[in-house]
Chain A
Amino acid sequence: MNNSEILSVLLNSDKELIIYRNSDKNNFEIYTDFAEKVNLNIGNLDKFLNKLERFKSYKPYDCYIGFFGYELLCKNINLKVNKDNSSFPEGVFFRPQTKIILDKQVKIITKSKSKLLKDLKALNKTTSSNSNKISVSPNVQVYEKIFNKFKKNIRAGETYQIKIAQKYSNKKDLDVVNLFFNLMKKNLSPESFCVRTNDFNIISCSPENLFKVKGKKIITSPIAGTVSRDKVKSTKEARKFFENNQKEDKEHNMIVDLERNDLSRITKANTVKIQNLKFVQKYQYIFHNVSEISGTLLDNVRLSAVIKAMMPGGSVIGCPKINTLKLLNKEEKEPRRIYTGSFGYYRSKQDMSFNIIIRSILNFQKNNEVFAASGVILDSTAKNEYHENYLKAKSLLDLLK
């Protein structure tokens, strides 16, 4: 088999794998042959992070890649969360022994090619389509109640910005790898990834990096502000739109200060700099307003301190982060699981990257779930934001039909 054939067999098998978009190199990386799989919970998180600190990758395929779920990240900063009665893991990291780079050519870097070939048993998936009916939680009445409660919280200064999440779900088997590449043709987001395991699957077209560490430098690129490309035609028009839109502009300011703050917890004094303030990124259907902020990590900063300071990512939660999370966890009844958690890789203390998991489908125990959230704005109505959430989730919901 040549490399393309190996890849094709792998993708069409049911072997556990992760596909990760590398936007710096404009290609996809496929990780498989997992030598290790760590299911995380609040009891073993610190131990795992300590282990990572001692880990250093010497091979291109060697790394830990996976995610921290929202509930785990909340518990990590001593916040109460809703109980998830399912067996869904609060976080999982994999240590691959094979990395396949899907570029113009297919490149395979593996510990053992003979093992890889032996393992590849092409198995056709059973695709028994179930109900396509999509249910929503909270429903519009409950959503409106929470929305109006949060408006009061804003008036009282208890939160300055808060984003209510909604869950859309249905039951249907998914051919995750095919769906992922179909989605990529339409919506090639910089932080896209796909996870296929025996227990669950994830398809994500996240646009947002939470932080990257390169050497001593840490960089975050929060997104705050979105406009449909039906509404504005060019990047220049989008820039004007964001400048003129008071609401979006102020929200963006708040997120810039919040991220400066979170970086300041783990960086040397006066090294936090706004590298790029409010620049426009273009996607298939939307424009985003993005800023880039960096800092120099403290000497001997602990990985656990970095995770505590940065996660969950503030731009998708609101501000101030702690009290806003408390308010959200009190009102929201559905466990968010992967939503607003972080997915990424760790190669060494000087080389890691994590995104914010949004615009994602989680397929678990025959159930598919998509979350979307939007901010509570004093001069907006619950019905508007409820509809806005639906629009945000729509391209993913189309995949579930």
Chain B
Amino acid sequence: MNLLLIDHEDSFTYNLAHLLSGFGNLEVKNFYDIKEKSIKKSDIIVFSPGPGKPSDYPVSLDIYNNYKSKKKIIGICLGFQLIANGEGGTISKQEKIFHGYQTYIRTNSKSLRFPNNALYQVGRYHSLKLKEPFNSSSMHITMRCEETNVAMCLESHKYDICGLQFHPDSFLTPNGKQFIRKIIQYKK
């Protein structure tokens, strides 16, 4: 299996790369330096975390829109927001900023990849959030922050797409690899 990790020049991308490397051949490419060939040969496209907002990365948004129905797509943090944005969602500032926080999140019954009503402890680094109401016929919010109710996971019921607002790559997320495994092993 070939994985392509699109790096938005974050200081957490390579933590994610180490998590992903056990699942296949991993290629890490800067967001401004992606060749069509890399995308074509990949089975899974992963959008890394990164500074700023989705609209700062038009090329990544294009890749999402072009391949969302064709390949497994995973987004982490900014990657989650790219997916939300690609589905018509708005990304906005949040009152309380979560940088370096460990908090609890809970799954709901809409999840296809994770058990219902499960509580997880996760690490978080985000200034921005998915603005709600978020209306999409195929994309569902399947995890929320216990404290603020902010969306923490998006799963598609139509395509093989999953985004996490938190960081499975952080040392603040125990068993971070489990999240990645469940997403990768999920078959549409």
Contacts and interface: CB of A to CB of B under 8 A. Distances in A.
A261 B99 contact: no
Contact of A378 (B15, B21, B97, B172): B97
Nearest to B128: A157
A319 B15 CA distance: 14
Interface string B1-43: 0000000011111110110011000000000000000000000
Interface in A238-280: 249-254, 256-258, 260-262, 264-265, 269-270, 272, 274, 277
A154 interface: yes
Interface in B101-152: 101-102, 123, 125-128
B52 A252 contact: no
Given A264-B17, A320-B12, A378-B97, A254 B125 contact: yes
Contacts of A264: 14-15, 17-18
B22 A251 contact: no
A69 interface: no
A258 B12 CA distance: 6
A313 to B, nearest CB: 12
A156 interface: yes
B18 A154 contact: no
Interface SS, A side = helix
Nearest to A378: B97
Given A254-B100, A314-B11, A320-B11, A157 B127 contact: yes
B100 to A, nearest CB: 3
A321 B8 CA distance: 12
A161 interface: yes
Contact of B14 (A160, A261, A274): A261
B176 to A, nearest CB: 11
A16 B18 CA distance: 45
A287 B10 CA distance: 30
Contacts of A260: 15, 171
Interface string A148-179: 00000011111111000000000000000000
A155 B11 CA distance: 18
A187 interface: no
B170 interface: yes
Given A250-B100, A262-B11, A320-B11, A156 B52 contact: yes
Interface string B155-188: 0000000000001011110000000000000000
B93 interface: yes
Contact of B18 (A250, A253, A258, A270): A270
A309 B102 CA distance: 26
Given A155-B127, A157-B53, A320-B51, A257 B15 contact: yes
Contacts of A320: 9-12, 50-51
A348 interface: no
Interface centre among B15, B18, B125 (most CB of A within 10 A): B18
Contacts of B17: 264, 269
A252 to B, nearest CB: 7
Classify chain B: how many residues form its interface, as a range: 20 to 34
A329 interface: no
A269 B171 CA distance: 15
Contacts of B172: 253, 257
Contacts of B99: 160-161, 250, 254
Contacts of A378: 97
Interface string A378-399: 1000000000000000000000
Nearest to A259: B11
Given A257-B15, A264-B15, A264-B18, A158 B51 contact: yes
A154 B167 CA distance: 18
B171 A256 contact: yes
Contact of B22 (A157, A161, A270): A270
A250 B126 CA distance: 12
Nearest to A273: B171
Interface centre among B10, B21, B78, B169 (most CB of A within 10 A): B10
A250 B101 CA distance: 6
Contact of B52 (A258, A269, A321, A323): A323
21 contacts: A154-B97, A156-B53, A157-B127, A157-B128, A158-B52, A160-B99, A161-B99, A251-B100, A253-B123, A256-B171, A257-B12, A257-B15, A257-B125, A257-B170, A257-B172, A258-B12, A261-B13, A269-B21, A272-B18, A320-B10, A323-B9
Interface of B: 9-15, 17-18, 21-22, 50-53, 78, 93, 97, 99-102, 123, 125-128, 167, 169-172
Given A250-B100, A261-B13, 15 more contacts: A154-B97, A156-B53, A159-B51, A160-B125, A253-B102, A254-B99, A257-B125, A257-B167, A257-B169, A270-B21, A272-B15, A320-B9, A320-B50, A322-B9, A323-B51
